[in-house]
Amino acid sequence: MHARQQILNLVRQLLESAGAQSWRGVYVSAILPGAPALPCVLVRGQGEQVGEVPNAGLLDLPVQWRTLSVSLLWVSKALPNPEDTAAASIAAAVDIERAVTLEAIQAALPQVKLGLLQSVEVNEETDESGYVSLDLVWSITYATREGDPETLLD
């Protein structure tokens, strides 16, 4: 399994094991599972920057330094009271940020070099389906050897 998929699956496991009441399910997908599954969290890879290892010597040339952008999109139906919707969104952000930490990621995948929360986008304006969302984006950095994308390097 590609290292990228290993990281996405791990993030899903961290969220599932959090026991949070802010969502009913966590999915490694960019596709919403449907209204009965809401609220939920979608774990999505948004892209990956790949380059040389910083300060690499000649022996490190086949090593690729990767920074994966991971979006955790919480989606819910808007509640009748806008203040309740805002409170639910804030509670979801707290639950997600408590569950997904560099310490928790490295406990399962110690080869991960860095994990930083990069941005949070709150959308409390309902879309045409009546959904609201919260998108937290992390950058997670790791290394693989060229030609072996399944193995994270120490």
pLDDT band at 62 (very low <50, low <70, confident <90, very high): confident
At 148, which CATH number? Answer: 3.30.2000.10
pLDDT band at 63 (very low <50, low <70, confident <90, very high): confident
Portion of the chain with pLDDT greater than 90, in percent? 82
Q: What gap in Å lies between CA 7 and CA 9, rounded to an integer?
A: 5
Portion of the chain with pLDDT greater than 70, in percent? 94
Q: State how many domains the chain has.
A: 1
pLDDT band at 146 (very low <50, low <70, confident <90, very high): confident
Q: Is pLDDT above 90 for 127? A: no
Q: Tens digit of pLDDT for each residue in 100-112?
A: 999 999 999 999 9
CA dihedral of 6, 44, 66, 148, whole degrees rounded to 10: 40
**Distances 105 to 40, 114, 135 between C-alpha atoms, Å:** 21, 9, 19
Q: Tens digit of pLDDT for each residue in 69-86?
A: 999 999 999 999 999 999
131-145 vs 114-123, strand pairing mode: antiparallel
By residue range, what is the domain housing residue 79? 3-152
Alpha helices in 20-110 (DSSP H): 82-99, 102-108
**Structure tokens that stand for 89 in this block:** 């969104």
CA atoms within 13 A on the CB side of 143: 16
5-9, 28-32, 36-40, 56-60: least confidently modelled range: 56-60
Query: In residues, how long is the chain?
Result: 154
